[in-house]
Every structure is written in C-alpha cells, then in structure tokens.
Structure 1
Amino acid sequence: MVSSWLSRWTGLRFSDNRPQTRRWLSRIVLSMGTVSLLAAPVTAFPSFDLVDEKDYRICAEGLRQAGITPLLSSQACAGVIRPKDLSECVVGISNTAQISGEEALVGCVSVRRPKELGVCVTSIVQVGRGVDPLNVLNSCGLSLLPERHSFCVVGLAEVNRDIPVDDLLNVCLRPPEQFIDLDL
C-alpha cells in the first residue's frame, strides 16, 4: 500500500517486495512524516505567551500597589509562569472584594488560572448580597474552572434572589452528580 502510494506520488515503480526495499520505503515515509511535522504551522502547537522584563515589572508594580512588600512581590512574580496574570488577579481582587493584598496573593498563587480567579471573585462579590469575600475567594479557588464557576453563581443569583449567594457557591461548586439525588 505504501509502495503504491509512493509510486503514484513520485512516478517511480516499486514492485520489489524484498525486506530491504520495504525498510527503505518505510524510512522514506517516516522522513516525509517528520518533514511534514516540521513544516506544520506554528499555530498547530500550543502557544505560550512569551514573557519579557516588562511583564515582571508590571507584576511587581501591581503587587506593590496592592500592599505587598517588595521582597514578597519579587518572590511571587519570579515564581509564576505568567507574572502579568498574577498581578491582574491580586490587584483586581484587592480593589473590588475588600480582601487584603496578602490574602489575594495566596489565592492567586495557588491556582492554575489566576486571571480567571480574579474575574470569578470580582464578579461574584459585585453581584453578591452580603456575601463574605473570603468565602468567595475560597470557592473560586477550589473550582477547576473559576470563570465558569462565577457564571453559575451569578446567573443563579440573578434569578433566585431569595437564595443566599453563599449557598449558591456550594451548589455551583458541587452540583449533584445525577438528577435522582435532587431533594424533591
């Protein structure tokens, strides 16, 4: 099959069925696969934003603005993959949610998606009626997809105004696995 495909592609005849010829053909096909892999567009591979000194500077400035000491902000910015996301998370949470910079930093450093954590906490605190901001930070930090968690809480809070937001945090964090488990 490979030889027939290669014959059509190259115009050469490969009617020899000896093991040496088969090995040679398999090397050609393997090398063609390698060449095609190397010729793949850059967008075919996962992209990681390149980080430069500006990102670290933004991170350190943001953390200092949130009240973090210079040594702690330096250590925190140096220890993460995307320092700019860390500072956005800490600044957003400390400005909106009345949470101290240190508490926000602990929350933002301990999750995989700090930018989403910041969005989660700020959106729930803005909608929440009398909700404890530290409870929101904890709930968003426990969620694997914090932004989606906030969509759940905010969407349900807008419709069900009689249910406390603290209860909705638990409902959205641990939904029932099957509908049979609903308390009807």
Structure 2
Amino acid sequence: MKNILKLTTLILVTPTLFTFIFPSTVKANNNSFDVCLRELTASGVPVEQAQTGCADALVPTELSTCVKNISTNTNIKSIEALKSCYQVRRPLDLSSCVVNINRDILMANNKSNTSKTASTVTETAENSIEPIIETTETTSVTPIQMALDTCQASLLPLRHSECVIGLSRTPQTANPTKAMETCLSAEDFPRDLFPSYQQ
C-alpha cells in the first residue's frame, strides 16, 4: 500500500516540478520582441535596424511577420519591406496585399509573357523569319515596388489588392500598374465617375 502511495505521489509531483524548474524557458519563447528580432535578422535585416524596429513596434511579431512574408514571397529586399511594414497601421494586411498582387497578377503575367516569347521564337525559327522584339517603356519603379507603395498608401490594403487583381484580369485593362493607380485613386475620390469635380 505504501509503495502505491509513493508511486502516486511521484506521478503527481513530477509535472509540478517541471513548471518550477523551467519557467524562464517558456517565458522566453513567448516574448514577442525576441521572436521579432529573430525573424527580422533571419530575413536579412541588419541587427541594429531590427532591434530599433522591434523595440518601437506596437505589435513586434506583426512587424516581423510582415517583413518575412514580403521578403520571402517577392523579390523585395527585407530592409525595404521593413520600412514599409513599420510605417503602416496594419502590417499583416500590407504583406498580404503585396504578396497577393505579386502571386496573382505579376507572376502570372511573367509566366504568360515567357510562354508567348517561347512560342514566338519557335514560330520564327520554323518560318526562318527574324523575331519581332517588343520594347516596353522603362520606368523607374518596378511593378512589384509599385505594389508595395500602393499597398502602403492604401487605407484598406486587402481591399486594394482585390481591386487590383480584379481590374487586371479584365481583357480591356490587363495593365497591373494602371490597375494599381486606378484602385488607389478611387479610394481618395473617383474622379472618373465625377469629371465635373476635377480641378
């Protein structure tokens, strides 16, 4: 009987001892500033900027998640993503906006342009005619950088990305940069609907 009581006491006391022995480990894993700093440095942000960003962020893990999502899923550098994520009220919405536009529109356009170019080269090789090279206007801002800027400027980034994706899928307006401009300006005041109010 005594052996059963000893065994029962040992089984009940052991889990309690673990909570007293390792409280600091559990606490450290839940520290949002620690998580933020780890994620930012892993994304390629220099330590000093990562420390400053995490220390000043209202919700540090949202800041680091924003930077991580953008730098992982686009070709935007982590330090640029940090600047944008730091300046918005909704960093998670910002990262979703940029990633959604990049995945659904910009990468889809790149794939279709690549397949069109490949088919054009094949056809011209078969017909032995020199390929026609289409030139596009060079702009100082790339489409993905514009996506980051417009998502940052938007009051409702998720709505903005839905707007851009929807407008870019229509055959008449297959230009994503034009769609970004249209969606952002419509948030301010839809001047195309009310031309008499244009200044």
Give the letter for the 1:92 counterpart.
N
Give the letter for the 1:181 counterpart.
P
Structure 2 distance, partners of 1:73, 1:107, is: 14
Which of 139, 145, 157 is equivalent to 2:150? 139
Task: Identify if the C-alpha distance between structure 1 residues 161 and 60 changes in structure 2 by more than 3 Å, giving closer, same or farther.
Answer: farther
What is residue 17 of structure 2 aligned with on the other side? none
Contact 2:143 2:176 in 1 (8 A): no
Which of 36, 48, 53 is equivalent to 1:71? 48
Task: Identify if the C-alpha distance between structure 1 residues 178 and 156 changes in structure 2 by more than 3 Å, giving closer, same or farther.
Answer: closer
What is residue 96 of structure 2 aligned with on the other side? 119
Decide which structure has greater helix share: 2
Contact 2:74 2:102 in 1 (8 A): yes
Matched residue SS, 2:159: helix
What is residue 195 of structure 2 aligned with on the other side? 181
Task: Establish whether residue 54 from structure 1 lines up as the match of residue 31 from structure 2.
Answer: yes
Aligned residues: 131
Structure 1 vs Structure 2 CA RMSD: 2.0
Task: Identify if the C-alpha distance between structure 1 residues 178 and 81 changes in structure 2 by more than 3 Å, giving closer, same or farther.
Answer: same
What is residue 166 of structure 1 aligned with on the other side? 177
Q: Give CA deviations for 1:147-177 in whole Å, capped at 9, x if unaligned.
A: 1111111122233475210000000001224
Question: TM-score scaled by structure 2?
Answer: 0.61
Task: Identify if the C-alpha distance between structure 1 residues 59 and 160 changes in structure 2 by more than 3 Å, giving closer, same or farther.
Answer: farther
Task: Identify if the C-alpha distance between structure 1 residues 98 and 83 changes in structure 2 by more than 3 Å, giving closer, same or farther.
Answer: same
**Relative contact order: is structure 1 or structure 2 higher (C-alpha 8 Å, sep ≥ 6)?**
2
Task: Identify if the C-alpha distance between structure 1 residues 62 and 160 changes in structure 2 by more than 3 Å, giving closer, same or farther.
Answer: farther
Structure 1 distance, partners of 2:172, 2:45, is: 36
Question: TM-score scaled by structure 1?
Answer: 0.65
Structure 1 distance, partners of 2:180, 2:59, is: 28
Task: Establish whether residue 109 from structure 1 lines up as the match of residue 123 from structure 2.
Answer: no
Structure 1 distance, partners of 2:171, 2:82, is: 32
Q: Give CA deviations for 1:115-144 in whole Å, capped at 9, x if unaligned.
A: 110000000011223562111111111111
Task: Identify if the C-alpha distance between structure 1 residues 160 and 54 changes in structure 2 by more than 3 Å, giving closer, same or farther.
Answer: farther
What is residue 27 of structure 1 aligned with on the other side? none
Q: Please list, as runs of the form range in 1=range in 2, the aligned pairs for 1:72-91 lying within 5 A after superposition.
A: 72-91=49-68
Structure 1 distance, partners of 2:30, 2:46, is: 20
Greater shift, 114-123 or 126-135, is seen at 126-135
> Structure 1: which 5+ residue stretches go unaligned?
1-51
Structure 2 distance, partners of 1:112, 1:160, is: 34
Structure 1 distance, partners of 2:173, 2:150, is: 20
Structure 2 distance, partners of 1:82, 1:116, is: 14
